[in-house]
Chains A and B, each alone.
Chain A
Amino acid sequence: MTNLTAMPELSASAALPPPRGYWAVAMRKLLRPLLVKLCVLYIAAVLVISVLVPFIATGKPYIISLHTAHGLVTRYPLFADLTTRDYLTFLTAGMLIALAAIWRLTARVDLLRRRKLRWVSALTCISATVIAGVLVASLHHNQFDGTNYRHLMKSGRATGAIFAPIPWGYAQMEPLGRQAVNEMPSWRHWLGTDRSGRDVLSRMLWASRVAMGIGFVSQFIALSLGIIVGALMGYFSGVCDILGMRIVEMVEAIPTFFLILTFIAVFGRSTLMIMIILGVTGWTGYARFLRAEFLRIRQLDYIVAARASGAPLHSVLFRHMLPNGLTPVLVSASFGLAGAVTIESSLSYLGIGVRPPTPSWGGMLNAAGNPATVFHWFQALPPGFVLFLTVLAFNLVGEALRDAIDPRSFS
């Protein structure tokens, strides 16, 4: 009874700075070293670029006035040229940002309302995104615009164009007659051109989208599968565990790289296929991790207490056990991301990754020295360096995260 009377006091105390949670402390610890800060910044920058690259590197101007038979007509080719995939990327990115914002904004709301608030707003956000995504996918038709706007400007058939900062599309070539292939860096092409006369910088930025896409989507699939299977194995143990572990062993025996090679040989190239294969074969590590954690946690007193007090299964699994078992999985997820980026680059380096002319860092590395006998350093260095930095950043952040969430290091 006294408890009830104490409630108002508790809510009143919410005005004070809330006690820092486990995650807040861990995040703070994570970002303390400068190197990790830089890495996180770098990853954020690559992510932003990979989402916004249609606005940064494209041959289509934001706005242009065309001289037509009906007089001056203003067009917005860049916006008209956005594909369904672009819109879906923006939507997903927006959703993730909104979710993060919800998390952050509700941090100060008191404990009892917070959970409900978060659930409701997160679900609204996700469902809104899904609805918008479906609408875009069904209503939006990709425009196919092969117009050479630079040529229009030069020939005086258009005026008032504002081009993107890097005014070259990833597949846009300099006219072959100009012999502008394998050009050194210049003001026209900041990182030079490749062997077909395409802007290296533009291709590099577009390639970040492939790398990030494959990394995040495949790891999302892998995490979802791994968490579900691992949680079930760890919680129920017994027969479920034995069967589950056999499945894990079976999947682990599949050589991912060769599986992808086979699929590419049979079904042709598709980025989505690579994502799915990487996801479907890459979950076993997460499942093992989570299983081990759950086997440990289910013995702990608070779980026994939760079960004894009659908490339903989903509540025990997802409210009490998962948040405490998930952290080590997230650490390995960041290594997994680096791994997926590496695999995609290796495939492209071997010339069997994405469909040409889609750029990819590995493919650009390959193109820099093959079959040309001259090694074009300016074609190889930037993508190689970016690839190296990306993998390094993910690994460093993963390592820092592991240290940060280590309970022994909490003071």
Chain B
Amino acid sequence: MGTRFTVKDFIFLLIFVVLVVLAGFTLESYNYLSHQVAGLRGDLQNLDAEQTTQLYLLKKIQRDGLRLQSGGSFSTPSTSPAPRGTTDAATAPTTADIRTTLPDGARYVMFPNPPLPPYNPYSQPNFAFGDWLVESLSSEPNRIMPFVPQSESAAAIQASVLESLLVRNPLTLKFDPWLARSYRVSKNGLKITFTLRRRARFSNGRPVTAQDVVFSYHTVMNPKVNCAAVRSYYVDIKSCRALSAYQVVFKLRQPYFKTLGVVGGLSIIPRSVYNFPNMADFNNHGKLLVGSGPYVLKRWSAGQQIVLTRNARYWGPRPIFNRIVYRFITNPQASLQSMLAGQIDVDALEPSQWVKYHAQPAFLKHFTTYKYLSPSAGYSFICWNLNQPWFKDRATRTALAMLVNQAAMIKTYLHSLAVQVTGPFNPISPQNNKLVHPIAYNPHAARVLLRKAGWTKASDGILTRGKIKFRFSLTIPSQFPLGKRMAEYIKEQFSRAGIDMQISPLDFTTMLQKINHRHFDAVMLGWSGSLETDPYQIWYSGSYKHEGSNAGDFNNPLADKLILEGRRTLNYKKRMHIWHRLQAVIYRQQPYLFLFTQYDLIAINKRIANTRPYPVFGISSADWFVPRALQKYH
């Protein structure tokens, strides 16, 4: 019959299938080619812009010789303290780093190679690769994915895995290009263009492209991703667009003083890894940490340690250590013991430990110690929940501050190794208003003030206002012995005035949860800081919503106005003036009981070399290495 399947039919079918496949393939390759062409076109445009810039620079050099211009400066490899003899980067043709102002008023910075640390470890005489760096973390993070975690320990781990477009030079405090090869900030500060380094790669081998930058930005801005605290810094950005495969432009609604730091500090994450169909899933991948950094996450042993291992495909200067190990040691005494036993290399000492050890010859034989005030140390405080009836009025809050003898507390509990703060700014930061004086310890005045605020002693001895008894609970992190002692002291001081404060120590994770859900009366915590912090995250009234950082619901129109104004002000002096005013407003309102900032008390095992601290930022582990003779992990 005609229905029999013959060899001829088979051949026809085969040809048909081959034709269909070929057609599909052709379409696909055309598609691919057109994409490539588009990319190339973008690159050409980009090159064009670059070329114009280069031409201008060349002309400028010809005209001025190599003399430095005010506003722009050239730093040649010889002036940067980074002779590039030992790194992969050295093989690249060395052209000068450029930092200048273009004719249209834009600032332009271009570093042909990623900058090496100012105290360049690679050029040290006894420099060697290898060995491990073992650090201790005082708390185990519950999640370490980018953007979402708010704990300091997660940030410490991310620092070696994630990278951003720019890095701050700890010596000059200027922003240097890192993942970006160059950046250009328009004159009005509303447009920032980054050109990425072509050789930058994520640890999964994919190149870091403009798409990844755009994706990272959109991840932060995605309301489904629980990172309100990070998001609050990006509210002023209007758009983020990829111009070509390696060029990306950020546009701003209004000028913002931290733009460069914020945009340049955005952690760039691979789109290929984090692009979930439903971005809410981002919150569920707490252990997913992939970036372009020198180290990759190797192992997380819950309750014990996190091990980072050298990124074998790292695009930049070869990472020095083979591994970085973070041990979770919550107890300061235990962490010092492990340090003495040589199990960890770096430890932040408690004040009492410092007093005992910092002058002990036996200790100094094995460890280097550093003591300095650092802007990143931040400050401790007690946050009053301003929605609770006790803390609604300023007079009461001021009285509470008067009841606590902070000077005595710092002297007795901290061995004078701390400085009282008078607002949300670090005492060594230029933001700090030195004219704001701390509220003096004065229990008598406090009692008068409490009486004025309507608090009278009821028959049972507790201060009462209307039907409200002054009885609240102070939540403290349970693994924080110093906090417990301070809380106990404050409790006693309050009780003298007829205020019943219960202390409820909570596990840190549970505590953060309660704070995020605003289920607390008062909470003792600390904020970490930076050289110039943006008060928006913590003090702007809008930051109360969406689990933002304004947990106490501080809501002051004048403060809001000053915050918005300060953020817009690019002029340094004017901005500092605004911050000083803001600090006076905040300290007057006493939404927190501001406590103190502690000195960083660091001890580092002597086997680690090149540990000297930078003037403002202190020690930086990027400088460290272990000389060959002292290496012990292989």
- Distance between Cα atoms of A144 and B412 in the complex (Å): 27
Nearest B residue to A369 via CB reads B333
Q: Verify B506–A265 contact, CB threshold 8 A.
A: yes
Cβ of A268 under 8 Å from chain B: yes
Question: Hey, which chain B residues are within 8 Å of A148, CB to CB?
Answer: 496
Question: Hey, which chain A residues are within 8 Å of B505, CB to CB?
Answer: 268-269, 351-352, 355-356
Task: Name the residue in A148, A195, A268, A351 with the highest tally of chain B Cβ atoms < 10 Å from its Cβ.
Answer: A268
Question: Hey, which chain A residues are within 8 Å of B459, CB to CB?
Answer: 141
Q: Verify A176–B411 contact, CB threshold 8 A.
A: yes
State which residues 168-198 of A face B: CB under 8 Å: 171-173, 175-177, 179, 181, 195-197
CB distance from B540 to the nearest CB of A (A): 31
Cβ of A33 under 8 Å from chain B: no
Question: Hey, which chain A residues are within 8 Å of B350, CB to CB?
Answer: 371, 373
State which residues 476-497 of B face A: CB under 8 Å: 478-479, 481-482, 484-485, 487-489, 491-492, 494-497
Cβ of A142 under 8 Å from chain B: yes
Task: Name the residue in A142, A144, A148, A372 with the highest tally of chain B Cβ atoms < 10 Å from its Cβ.
Answer: A144
Nearest A residue to B473 via CB reads A268
Nearest A residue to B481 via CB reads A371
Question: Hey, which chain B residues are within 8 Å of A177, CB to CB?
Answer: 405, 408
- Distance between Cα atoms of A371 and B356 in the complex (Å): 12
Cβ of A146 under 8 Å from chain B: yes
Q: Verify A141–B504 contact, CB threshold 8 A.
A: no
- Distance between Cα atoms of A179 and B411 in the complex (Å): 9
Cβ of A143 under 8 Å from chain B: yes
Question: Hey, which chain A residues are within 8 Å of B601, CB to CB?
Answer: none
Cβ of B336 under 8 Å from chain A: yes
Cβ of B353 under 8 Å from chain A: yes
Cβ of B135 under 8 Å from chain A: no
A268-B504, A357-B488 known; A372 vs B352 contact (CB < 8 Å): yes
Cβ of A374 under 8 Å from chain B: yes
Q: Verify B495–A144 contact, CB threshold 8 A.
A: yes
Cβ of B264 under 8 Å from chain A: no
Number of interface residues of A (CB under 8 A): 35
CB distance from A44 to the nearest CB of B (A): 32
Choose one: A172, A179, A195, A265; the contact of B485 (CB below 8 Å): A195
Question: Hey, which chain B residues are within 8 Å of A141, CB to CB?
Answer: 459-460
User: Interface code A59-88, partner B: CB below 8 Å = 1, 0 otherwise?
Assistant: 000000000000000000000000000000
- Distance between Cα atoms of A196 and B413 in the complex (Å): 8
- Distance between Cα atoms of A369 and B336 in the complex (Å): 13
Question: Hey, which chain A residues are within 8 Å of B353, CB to CB?
Answer: 371, 373
- Distance between Cα atoms of A355 and B509 in the complex (Å): 18
Nearest B residue to A270 via CB reads B504
Cβ of A305 under 8 Å from chain B: no
Question: Hey, which chain A residues are within 8 Å of B479, CB to CB?
Answer: 351
Choose one: A171, A265, A268, A352; the contact of B488 (CB below 8 Å): A171
Q: Verify A176–B408 contact, CB threshold 8 A.
A: yes
Q: Is the interface of B mostly helix, strand, loop or mixed?
A: helix
Nearest B residue to A147 via CB reads B496
Cβ of B510 under 8 Å from chain A: yes
State which residues 460-482 of B face A: CB under 8 Å: 460-462, 478-479, 481-482
Choose one: A171, A197, A264, A369; the contact of B491 (CB below 8 Å): A171
Q: Verify A371–B489 contact, CB threshold 8 A.
A: no
Cβ of A145 under 8 Å from chain B: yes
Cβ of B393 under 8 Å from chain A: no
Q: Verify B352–A146 contact, CB threshold 8 A.
A: no
A351-B481, A355-B504, A373-B352 known; A146 vs B495 contact (CB < 8 Å): yes
Question: Hey, which chain A residues are within 8 Å of B140, CB to CB?
Answer: none
State which residues 144-162 of B face A: CB under 8 Å: none
Choose one: A144, A356, A371, A373; the contact of B460 (CB below 8 Å): A144
Question: Hey, which chain A residues are within 8 Å of B488, CB to CB?
Answer: 171, 173, 196, 356-357
CB distance from B113 to the nearest CB of A (A): 45
Nearest B residue to A171 via CB reads B492
Choose one: A145, A176, A264, A371; the contact of B332 (CB below 8 Å): A371
Q: Verify A351–B478 contact, CB threshold 8 A.
A: yes
- Distance between Cα atoms of A143 and B487 in the complex (Å): 21
- Distance between Cα atoms of A351 and B454 in the complex (Å): 38
Cβ of B343 under 8 Å from chain A: no
B: contact size bracket: 35 or more
Q: Verify B504–A373 contact, CB threshold 8 A.
A: no
Q: Verify A355–B460 contact, CB threshold 8 A.
A: no
Q: Verify A356–B409 contact, CB threshold 8 A.
A: no
- Distance between Cα atoms of A148 and B443 in the complex (Å): 13
CB distance from A86 to the nearest CB of B (A): 15
Nearest B residue to A266 via CB reads B510
Cβ of A315 under 8 Å from chain B: no
Q: Verify A173–B492 contact, CB threshold 8 A.
A: yes
Question: Hey, which chain B residues are within 8 Å of A371, CB to CB?
Answer: 331-333, 350, 352-353, 481-482
CB distance from B274 to the nearest CB of A (A): 30
- Distance between Cα atoms of A282 and B503 in the complex (Å): 29
- Distance between Cα atoms of A175 and B481 in the complex (Å): 20
CB distance from B486 to the nearest CB of A (A): 9
Choose one: A144, A176, A195, A373; the contact of B462 (CB below 8 Å): A144
Cβ of A370 under 8 Å from chain B: yes
Q: Verify A373–B336 contact, CB threshold 8 A.
A: yes
Q: Verify B461–A143 contact, CB threshold 8 A.
A: yes
- Distance between Cα atoms of A208 and B495 in the complex (Å): 24
Q: Verify A265–B352 contact, CB threshold 8 A.
A: no
Q: Verify B333–A373 contact, CB threshold 8 A.
A: yes
Q: Verify A357–B460 contact, CB threshold 8 A.
A: no
Q: Verify B489–A145 contact, CB threshold 8 A.
A: no
State which residues 333-372 of A face B: CB under 8 Å: 351-352, 355-357, 369-372
Nearest A residue to B503 via CB reads A356
CB distance from B350 to the nearest CB of A (A): 5
User: Interface code B324-354, partner A: CB below 8 Å = 1, 0 otherwise?
Assistant: 0000000111001000000000000010110
- Distance between Cα atoms of A356 and B567 in the complex (Å): 42
Q: Verify B405–A370 contact, CB threshold 8 A.
A: no
Question: Hey, which chain B residues are within 8 Å of A351, CB to CB?
Answer: 478-479, 481, 484, 505
Q: Verify A355–B502 contact, CB threshold 8 A.
A: yes
CB distance from A200 to the nearest CB of B (A): 15
Q: Verify A176–B489 contact, CB threshold 8 A.
A: yes
Cβ of B500 under 8 Å from chain A: yes
CB distance from A382 to the nearest CB of B (A): 20
A370-B333, A371-B333 known; A355 vs B503 contact (CB < 8 Å): yes
- Distance between Cα atoms of A143 and B495 in the complex (Å): 12
CB distance from A140 to the nearest CB of B (A): 10
CB distance from A350 to the nearest CB of B (A): 9
Q: Verify B461–A144 contact, CB threshold 8 A.
A: yes
A356-B487, A373-B357 known; A143 vs B481 contact (CB < 8 Å): no
Question: Hey, which chain B residues are within 8 Å of A197, CB to CB?
Answer: 412
Q: Verify B510–A265 contact, CB threshold 8 A.
A: yes
State which residues 485-536 of B face A: CB under 8 Å: 485, 487-489, 491-492, 494-500, 502-507, 509-510
Nearest A residue to B410 via CB reads A176
Question: Hey, which chain B residues are within 8 Å of A142, CB to CB?
Answer: 460
Task: Name the residue in A146, A179, A351 with the highest tally of chain B Cβ atoms < 10 Å from its Cβ.
Answer: A146
State which residues 66-99 of B face A: CB under 8 Å: none
- Distance between Cα atoms of A371 and B357 in the complex (Å): 13
Q: Verify A370–B492 contact, CB threshold 8 A.
A: no
- Distance between Cα atoms of A171 and B488 in the complex (Å): 8
- Distance between Cα atoms of A382 and B510 in the complex (Å): 34
Question: Hey, which chain A residues are within 8 Å of B412, CB to CB?
Answer: 176, 179, 181, 197
- Distance between Cα atoms of A369 and B331 in the complex (Å): 12
CB distance from B286 to the nearest CB of A (A): 18
8 contacts across the A-B interface (CB closer than 8 A): A173-B488, A176-B412, A177-B408, A265-B507, A357-B503, A370-B331, A372-B352, A374-B356
A144-B462, A146-B494, A177-B408 known, 16 other contacts, Cβ within 8 Å:
A144-B495, A146-B497, A146-B499, A171-B492, A196-B488, A197-B412, A265-B510, A268-B505, A351-B479, A351-B481, A356-B484, A357-B491, A370-B333, A371-B350, A373-B357, A374-B356
Nearest 5 pairs between A and B by C-beta?
A: A176-B408, A146-B495, A144-B461, A146-B496, A373-B356
